[in-house]
A and B are shown apart, each in its own frame.
Chain A
Amino acid sequence: MAFGPFLLLATFEGLLQAAILTLTALGLSLVFGVMRVVNVAHGEFYMLGAVIAWWVSTFVSSMFGMPPAVGFIAALIVSPLAVGAIAMVGERLILKRLNYNPESTIVATIGMLYIIQQSVLLTYGPDARRVAAPFYYRIQLPWFGYSGYNLFVIAAAAVLLLIVWFILSRTRIGLIMRATQFDAETAQAFGIPIDRVYSLVFAAGAMLAAIGAVLVVPIRQAHYLMGLDPLLLSFITVIIGGLGSLRGTVIAALLIGLSDGIISVFFSPTLAKMISTLLVALVLVFKPEGLFGAKAR
């Protein structure tokens, strides 16, 4: 294949990577931005999303003999809701009791990571399983064919991003979340029930990761260790973009996803990880608040 088409293919792969990364990193960034909680268990919510998607789609297609698309749609609805509920329970039982103390919650979410991961290993097992894509459509370009589903994932992530942006910037609940993010105590003095906001934000962050995972399981398989890579990449994204800055998160996810996709295709995935990690180091040295982050208040 000539260089041009090869670059196009690499760009598609990079955009796919960026799409999923945007959703997971956005969840992490939202939780940190509003709650000041570094959620180390974030990748496990992603993994749970994929595993529950496998369960739901398998259940729907084997019990009712429905086509894969129905199972997928059911998974897209049930899995994020289930993951959101689990996150909310974790938030109530653990983070709230720690009073959202930044250090304690890091340790607590490391605990949550292992509890979720090992629970899935015990119940779901060590196998990697695939969920059937809702549709198969091959877009035939002059140089190569490309999965229509992959492009659907990119578009779906873009739509979700717009929805999140709309909610945060144009709705009442978004205003409440931003007020809590800027100054939780003053928000309380104006009647905002911040612990309900925290609970909601933590669930929403987990749900974003779960949606990303449901979208990705037809391409990559559901596996109990699949949360580790997205966690690392999400952290890299959020650090480069600036903790708590949604715009920064989106731009950094695009940057990292694209470079990861392109470098992986042309050179090797390992080199791609090395470069993004180096980028983090450089950002931390020269612009510790991230490319778009606000200076510490």
Chain B
Amino acid sequence: MAQDLTSERAMLDVADLDVYHGNSQTLKGMSFSVAPGEVVCLLGRNGAGKTTTLRAIMGLMRPSAGHVRLDGVELTALAAHEVPRQGIGYVPQGRRLFSELTVRDNLDIGLMTRKSPRAVLDEVFDLFPRLQERLDQVSGTLSGGEQQMLATARALCINPSVILLDEPTEGLMPSMIATIRDVILTLKGRGKAILLVEQRVEAVLSVADRVCFIENGRVQATSPVQALRDDPSMLTRYVGV
């Protein structure tokens, strides 16, 4: 099953991943891949295992079986803090900013990860000019949209080749959702591999290239977005819309 989903120049490759939460198995043979310049979306109901998948990729949860490879490097063998250094930027669910630290501190933490060049910061400010005006503001006092920008900017500071985004539009105003979508498309244009967990079907359809439908801890079906636009029956089946 892993094979037919793995494109040839796969950058991030997740294969047959099993993860347990105590005695209950949350991932059962999770397999998919994301190529450079591609946006892949994991779609499924709550509790299907989407967030667990991202956490397992980051090494924050230890899989009991399976592989996560980035350009052939086995990530499951690495300590959690070594995973981002391979070039994976993580925008966690609920943003998880260091909310008592300033915007600058949050970005600095991203920058020190891989000793990214300062030029990376210029690129980040290009995408999020508003953050540059608020460098000394305590990040917990930013608006929800700005916090999402900061969480994304912090992940971009590590100069990643793969970006994991966990529900980036959760709780945001429509105008901000459009901004986040534009950013994702820009990053895709720069050749980043993007793995997106998202609940809003319309948001998914507007940015993703492929959708993996997750149910019971595994990918039940994968479909190009174009096919879903033409025939939304799969959407009805897996997410009930």
Contacts and interface: CB of A to CB of B under 8 A. Distances in A.
Whether chains A and B associate is yes
Interface of A: 172, 175-176, 178-179, 182-183, 185-194, 294
B108 A175 contact: yes
Given A172-B112, A175-B105, A175-B109, A189 B98 contact: no
B39 to A, nearest CB: 21
B123 interface: no
Contact of A190 (B59, B79, B84, B101): B84
A190 B82 contact: no
Main DSSP-derived SS at the A contact region? helix
B92 interface: yes
A216 B96 CA distance: 43
A194 B113 CA distance: 13
A191 B81 contact: yes
Interface in B60-101: 60, 79-85, 90, 92, 96, 98-101
Given A178-B101, A179-B101, A191 B85 contact: yes
Given A175-B108, A175-B109, A190 B99 contact: no
A191 B60 contact: no
A175 B85 CA distance: 18
Given A175-B105, A179-B101, A193-B81, A186 B112 contact: no
Interface residues on B, range: 20 to 34
9 contacts: A178-B98, A183-B96, A188-B58, A189-B80, A189-B90, A189-B92, A190-B113, A191-B114, A193-B79
Contacts of A183: 96, 98
Interface in B208-228: none
A189 B92 CA distance: 9
B110 interface: yes
A192 B81 contact: yes
A179 B106 CA distance: 8
Contacts of A178: 98, 100-101, 105
Nearest to A178: B101
Contact of A189 (B84, B100, B108, B114): B84
A4 B90 CA distance: 62
A104 B52 CA distance: 27
B158 interface: yes
A176 B90 CA distance: 18
Contacts of A190: 84, 90, 109-110, 113, 154, 158
Interface of B: 58-60, 79-85, 90, 92, 96, 98-101, 105, 108-110, 112-114, 154, 158
B166 to A, nearest CB: 11
A187 B109 contact: yes
Nearest to B88: A189
B98 A186 contact: yes
Nearest to A196: B81
A291 B113 CA distance: 35
Contacts of A185: 60, 96
A159 B58 CA distance: 41
A187 B114 CA distance: 13
Given A172-B112, A175-B105, A194-B81, A189 B99 contact: no
Nearest to B80: A188
Given A190-B113, A190-B158, A191-B114, A182 B80 contact: no
A190 B159 CA distance: 12
Contacts of A194: 81
B109 to A, nearest CB: 5
B75 to A, nearest CB: 13
A189 B101 CA distance: 17
A182 B97 CA distance: 9
Contacts of A179: 98, 101, 105, 109
Contacts of B58: 188-189
A83 B16 CA distance: 48
A32 B80 CA distance: 23
Contacts of B110: 190
Nearest to B84: A191
Contacts of A187: 98, 109
A191 B115 CA distance: 11
Contacts of B85: 191
Contacts of B82: 191
B113 A191 contact: yes
Contact of A182 (B60, B83, B92, B101): B101
